[in-house]
């Protein structure tokens, strides 16, 4: 932490980035970092491979997010947030001269492969918590803007302070931010209750594919491309769908398949308690945490689904759950 903060002080022009298909923690921690760097008098730009999902566009700074590194910017530092591997940041990284630009890797995935020149990898509910700690270590007063971004990061990665990754520290940071005047109700309305109607139209179609198996312990469902094609909306509107079947009594693991391309599926896994879905995701070349993981799999849908569900059920049985 100290060395990473020294490096931040030494450098002048920062590109801040995060993973493809960014979620609330990805966007919130990137923008909090952006505000912190600017408060230190640094030049910074947030450059992402994918655009900010509409529900997170209320966050201060989101209008300044770029989809490429400006040709005349010449960064002397790259900050990668919430990425367990550098490849998770997507193609934006190819626009940076990695031979001369050090990378600060700040992440809360224990599976992180320490790709950075400096690595701050710590288990915490959200990468936003680590950014909050960096802001403190750098002695920067937490502004309302930083607060809103960090609060949203923690709120979304803890499922609204409900998941088991929620700690005393998550709640303490949230309380400190609320004392700055940030309203939990307002942020929750914006980040969790401002989805486009199309999300629920697609959800309706997807839920018709819901199945529960493995003795009532695994629920899965999927969206195909044609479920949203008619609506002309971006795939980001299905973010978080995987969380719904987790709410079924007795279900330990919820699996959501999204058709990304012909014979290519994004698989999202969520679990309760000790069921470790990162083991399943890793066996398919993906990664994540014990209770939230994902991977990308090629093949015909029925085969992919059957393969994943078998692995999940084996994992549950193997853990004696």
Handedness of CA 287, 290, 294, 299 (dihedral sign): positive
Least separation, in Å, of the C-beta of 282 and ligand 5GP?
8
Q: Tokens 């309380």 — which residue?
A: 175
Give the interface segment with ligand 5GP, choosing from 30-38, 89-97, 200-208, 284-292 (CB under 6 A): 284-292
Least distance in angstroms from the C-beta of 251 to ligand 5GP? 16
Which range of residues in 170-178, 200-208, 291-299, 304-312 is near ligand 5GP by CB under 6 A?
Answer: 291-299
Contact present, 118 and 4 (Cβ < 8 Å): yes
> Closest Cα to residue 267, out of 210, 216, 220, 212?
220
Interface pick for ligand 5GP out of 18, 84, 119, 165 (rule CB under 6 A) = 84
- Confirm or reject binding of residue 85 to ligand 5GP (CB under 6 A): yes
Comparing CB distances to Mn ion, the nearer of 112 and 254 is 112
Q: How far apart are CA 114 and CA 106, in angstroms?
A: 9
Binding site partner of 291, from ligand 5GP, Mn ion, none, Cβ cut-off 5-8 A by kind? none
Asked if 233 interacts with ligand 5GP (CB under 6 A), we say no
Of 280, 285, 284, nearest in space to 269 by CA: 280
Question: Contact positions toward Mn ion, by CB under 5 A?
Answer: 25, 82, 127, 157
- Two tokens, residue 286: 């993906």
Lay out the site mask for ligand 5GP across 10-49 (x = CB under 6 A, - = otherwise). -------------x--------------------------
Instruction: Measure the N-to-C terminal CA separation of the chain; round to a whole number of Å.
Output: 38
Nearer to ligand 5GP, 75 or 287 (CB): 287
CB atoms within 10 A of CB 160: 14
53 binds ligand 5GP (CB under 6 A): no
Q: Which of 53, 75, 128, 294 binds ligand 5GP (CB under 6 A)?
A: 294
Closer to ligand 5GP at the Cβ: 214 or 292? 292
Q: Is 206 in the site for ligand 5GP (CB under 6 A)?
A: no
Helical ranges in the chain per DSSP H: 2-10, 24-39, 127-137, 144-157, 168-178, 184-192, 197-207, 225-229, 277-283, 301-318
Which of ligand 5GP, Mn ion, none sits in contact with 25, Cβ below 5 to 8 A by type? Mn ion
- What would the DSSP string read from start to end of 199-239? HHHHHHHHHTT-EEETTTTEEEEEE-HHHHHTTT--GGGGT
Q: Nearer to Mn ion by C-beta: 25 or 145?
A: 25
Q: Which is nearer to Mn ion, 82 or 148 (CB)?
A: 82
CA distance 240 to 270: 10
- Cβ proximity to Mn ion: between 163 and 228 the closer is 163
293 binds ligand 5GP (CB under 6 A): yes
The residue written with tokens 């302070």 in the block is 161
Would you tell me which residues interact with ligand 5GP (CB under 6 A)? 23, 84-85, 109, 242, 268, 286-289, 292-296
């Amino acid at each position: 932490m100290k060395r990473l903060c020294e490096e931040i002080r030494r450098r002048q022009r920062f590109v801040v980035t995060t993973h493809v298909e960014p979620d609330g923690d990805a966007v919130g921690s990137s923008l909090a970092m952006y505000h912190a760097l600017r408060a230190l008098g640094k030049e910074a730009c947030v450059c992402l491979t994918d655009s900010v999902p509409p529900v997170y566009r209320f966050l201060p700074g989101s209008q300044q997010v770029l989809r490429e590194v400006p040709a005349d910017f010449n960064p002397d530092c790259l900050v990668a947030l919430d990425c367990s591997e550098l490849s998770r940041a997507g193609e934006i990284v190819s626009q940076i001269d990695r031979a001369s630009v050090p990378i600060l890797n700040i992440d809360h995935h224990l599976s992180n492969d320490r790709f950075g020149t400096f690595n701050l990898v710590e288990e915490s509910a959200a990468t936003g918590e680590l950014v909050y700690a960096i802001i403190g270590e750098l002695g920067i007063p937490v502004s309302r803007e930083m607060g809103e971004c960090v609060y949203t990061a923690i709120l979304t990665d803890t499922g609204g302070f409900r998941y088991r990754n929620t700690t005393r520290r998550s709640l303490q940071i949230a309380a400190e931010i609320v004392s700055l005047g940030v309203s939990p109700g307002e942020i929750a309305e914006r980040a969790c209750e401002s989805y486009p109607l199309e999300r629920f139209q697609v959800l309706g179609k997807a839920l018709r594919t819901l199945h529960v198996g493995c003795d009532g312990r695994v629920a899965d469902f999927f969206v195909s491309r044609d479920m949203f094609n008619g609506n002309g909306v971006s795939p980001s509107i299905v973010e978080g769908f995987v969380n719904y079947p987790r709410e079924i009594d007795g279900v330990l693991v919820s699996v959501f398949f999204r058709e990304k391309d012909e014979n290519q599926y994004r698989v999202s896994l969520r679990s309760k308690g000790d069921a470790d879905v990162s083991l399943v995701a890793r066996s398919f070349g993906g990664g994540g945490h014990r209770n939230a993981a994902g991977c990308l799999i090629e093949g015909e849908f029925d085969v992919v689904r059957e393969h994943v569900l078998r692995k999940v059920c084996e994992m549950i049985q193997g853990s004696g759950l």
